[in-house]
């Protein structure tokens, strides 16, 4: 298995890295991850890198959602606040 900071792993992560300002899809639809030409080892390691990246991003999303829940409350609380605000504005 490739190390986290190996040149191969960095290349896989860098291929689709975005600074947030560029949301364009840079993937090659015909063979998105070049599996047709890759050895089984490279294909497996590429998949592992992508799974790790997805897990990392999902973890960050969960942290953000947790913080948002703590700061702003859950859906029902926010809905109640908005309905109360609208009712107060209309009265």
Per-residue pLDDT tens digits for 46-81: 889 889 999 999 999 999 999 999 998 899 999 999
Domain ranges of the chain: 38-63
Is the pLDDT at 24 greater than 70, yes or no? no
Hey, what long-range contacts does 50-58 have (CB within 8 A, 24 or more apart)?
50/12, 52/4, 53/13
Contact between residue 39 and residue 47 where contact means Cβ atoms under 8 Å apart: no
Is the pLDDT at 15 greater than 60, yes or no? yes
If one counts every other C-beta atom within 10 angstroms of the C-beta of residue 9, the result is 19
Report the alpha-carbon distance of residue 86 to residue 65 in Å, rounded.
25
- ∠ Cα 42 45 49 (to 5°): 135
Report the alpha-carbon distance of residue 40 to residue 26 in Å, rounded.
24
- What pLDDT score does 66 carry? 95
């Amino acid at each position: 298995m490739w190390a986290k900071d190996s040149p191969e792993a960095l290349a896989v992560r860098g291929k689709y890295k975005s600074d947030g300002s560029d949301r364009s899809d840079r993937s090659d639809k015909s063979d998105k991850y070049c599996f047709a030409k890759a050895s089984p080892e490279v294909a497996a390691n590429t998949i592992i890198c992508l799974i790790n990246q997805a897990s990392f991003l999902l973890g960050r999303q969960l942290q953000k959602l947790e913080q948002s829940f703590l700061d702003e409350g859950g859906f029902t609380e926010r809905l109640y606040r908005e309905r109360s605000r609208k009712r107060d504005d209309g009265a």
